[in-house]
Structure 1
Amino acid sequence: MLSLKLPKLFNIDQVPPVFHERGIICGYRHPQSSAIACVLSLFQMTNETLNIWTHLLPSWYFMWRFMATLYMVDFWNDSYSWPLLIYLSTSFIYPFASSCAHTFSSMSKNARHICYFLDYGAVNLFSLGSAIAYSAYTFPDMLVRTTFHHYFVSLAVLNTILSIGLSCYSRFLELQKPKLCKTLRILAFAYPYAWDTVPIIYRLFLSSEESSGEAANPYHQKHTVIAILACFLYAAHLPERLAPGRFDYIGHSHQLFHVCVILATHLQMEAIFLDMTLRKEWLLATSIPPSFSQTAGAVCLCIIFSIINIIYFSISLYQTPEPESQKKET
């Protein structure tokens, strides 16, 4: 009978500091794992296993939603649906990229950084996809065709480019300045989301008018609350910070963060579908028609600058000398 030998796991004091996770003591994979060993770890309980599966499975669900919508909607001849296409495509790319990053991040120190560079690029691409969908379908009636609406996507592109640069740069500060690293990374993800959410906050709390998209408001409310909870979990490292070693495999903050992010995306998707459907007649008569430059053009520009950022920071990894403390660890 054939037997499958799973990779050996290590404690925190057996792996280099760059692999350490706050409050996580056991379940680390070999810091120089092969690609095959990384794939095998999907079927072994490590401190990354649920991080992988909580994004891998939803990525296939979101891809199914994308394919089903692609079959039902005439994207080629209906420019009104272009923003939806952009949003749905980014919605399955970011969890898939995240699951790949967590899977292969133990191949080496530099591979770990590069994996997360790509992860950050996908997350920021999703942020831009959300901004494009919000601009097309969810803007409150009072803000449609305003200067803010006109420049909303353009500034979202700028936010995305700056965010990926800041988040990638933060990885160079992990060991020497961990607090600054965490602050910069949270800021890099929080401010594009805050910008994207401005029209939603205005619509939910500052607009007193009724509109045809009011049925989507409960979904927007739930999405906003869960997204804030996800941000808190990412920043606070709870519950593992209070009981190190107790949540190494199940229940630590990054797993809970992943679950909240996926649930928030699902609620956001439902809200966008409702807004797109219920407000279509009014938006086609009143709003600015989606253009190629504000949909596919914006995404292509973001992808180009994201690739440039990732290549630049990846090359910098190999040109930056290791601190003496790291050399001793190895």
Structure 2
Amino acid sequence: MSCCRQDVPEHLRFNPYIEYGYRPPMRPVQCLASVFAVHNETVNIYTHVVALCLSLYLVICESPLWWYTDGIEFIKWCHIIATIIPWIGSIVYHTFMNVNGDRDTYNRLLKADLLGIWLAQYLGGMPMMSASLYNLSDTNQLAVKTIYWTACFCGLLKVIHEQNFIKVSRVYFFLPITIRILLVALRTTRYGGGDPAAIVYVVLADSSSIIGGIINAARWPERRFPGTCDFFCNSHNIMHLLVLLAMYWMHQVNVKDIVWLTAQMNFKNIQ
């Protein structure tokens, strides 16, 4: 099943240091069957399968979201959607990326994957942002949220129209992380809200994402050892593992902030 880099279409050769283990163009059924074979997308597929299973477990079985959500249903569902849906898009992308060797199909699958990242980055940031801004006036909250959703909309337009993944990724990763850094700074002042215990998880989540992005962009370690990381331990594999960790940390942030928000609203209603 596996073949060399020069034997696959050009759009599948995006990592010049991965020399072997590529899947040739396949029909959809063959792509699906290749999930049970070993190739250079195997780790990428299975890390996302593990992430999906873990997300479902955290959201359904080990989360207080179903009880501590009075008055903040929208925020709760932002977190649930952002925690589960992106993994499905990534699994589909990595499984079917070589279908028929067709570039247009590949680009559509890539955009579906990018849409999942958009959901994770922007919808996933709603609980943390809402909790951080809770102590501000309604006018200030509206101003910040307007800026935030404008950034969301611009990011979505990038997904739909941009052909250069590098440009898209800059908008995706650096803008949301910058917003979260500013919110963490706000939370250290008397004007910020949110569960104080959540801050450390924000730092862990964003550190994992940043390190994963740097490793993926640097193509390390396969750049240093070409051909030795074709199947396992290449930069994209490492990034996937770090993103899985980031998802877990952000889940902890959002659950803590959702519980904190619910408590604040209940206290306000009692008064």
Give a deviation string over 1:141-199, Cα, whole Å, max 9, x none.
5xx3365532333333332332243355553x5xxxxxxx53x1331212432354144
- Which residue of structure 2 lines up, in the alignment, with residue 24 of structure 1? 18
Matches of 2:71 and 2:49 in 1, distance apart? 31
Is the 1:167–1:188 Cα contact (8 Å) retained in structure 2? Answer: no
CA gap of 1:221–1:191, structure 2 versus 1, over 3 A, is closer
CA gap of 1:139–1:132, structure 2 versus 1, over 3 A, is same
**Structure 1 residue ranges, 4+ long, deviating more than 6 angstroms after superposition:** 208-212
Give a deviation string over 1:81-102, Cα, whole Å, max 9, x none.
4302221122110011111111
- Which residue of structure 2 lines up, in the alignment, with residue 215 of structure 1? 197
Structure 2: state its 5+ residue gaps: none
Matches of 1:109 and 1:230 in 2, distance apart? 27
Corresponding position: 1:225 with 2:207: yes
Question: 1:137 is matched with which residue: 127, 131, 134?
Answer: 131
Question: 2:238 is matched with which residue: 232, 256, 263?
Answer: 256
- Which residue of structure 2 lines up, in the alignment, with residue 10 of structure 1? 3
Question: 2:121 is matched with which residue: 117, 127, 134?
Answer: 127
- Which residue of structure 1 lines up, in the alignment, with residue 40 of structure 2? 47
Question: 2:150 is matched with which residue: 158, 172, 187?
Answer: 158
Give a deviation string over 1:228-280, Cα, whole Å, max 9, x none.
21221232221112221111110011111111111111111112212222454
Percent identity reads: 17
Matches of 1:264 and 1:161 in 2, distance apart? 23
CA gap of 1:278–1:165, structure 2 versus 1, over 3 A, is closer
Count of aligned positions: 265
Structure with greater Cα Rg: 1
Q: Which amino acid aligns with 1:46?
A: H
Q: Which amino acid aligns with 1:114?
A: R
Question: 1:97 is matched with which residue: 89, 105, 108?
Answer: 89
Aligned CA RMSD, in angstroms, stands at: 2.8
Question: 1:242 is matched with which residue: 204, 213, 224?
Answer: 224
CA gap of 1:25–1:191, structure 2 versus 1, over 3 A, is same
Question: 1:202 is matched with which residue: 167, 180, 185?
Answer: 185
Matches of 2:227 and 2:65 in 1, distance apart? 47
Question: 1:269 is matched with which residue: 251, 256, 262?
Answer: 251
Matches of 2:196 and 2:103 in 1, distance apart? 49
Is the 2:65–2:255 Cα contact (8 Å) retained in structure 1? Answer: no
CA gap of 1:208–1:92, structure 2 versus 1, over 3 A, is same
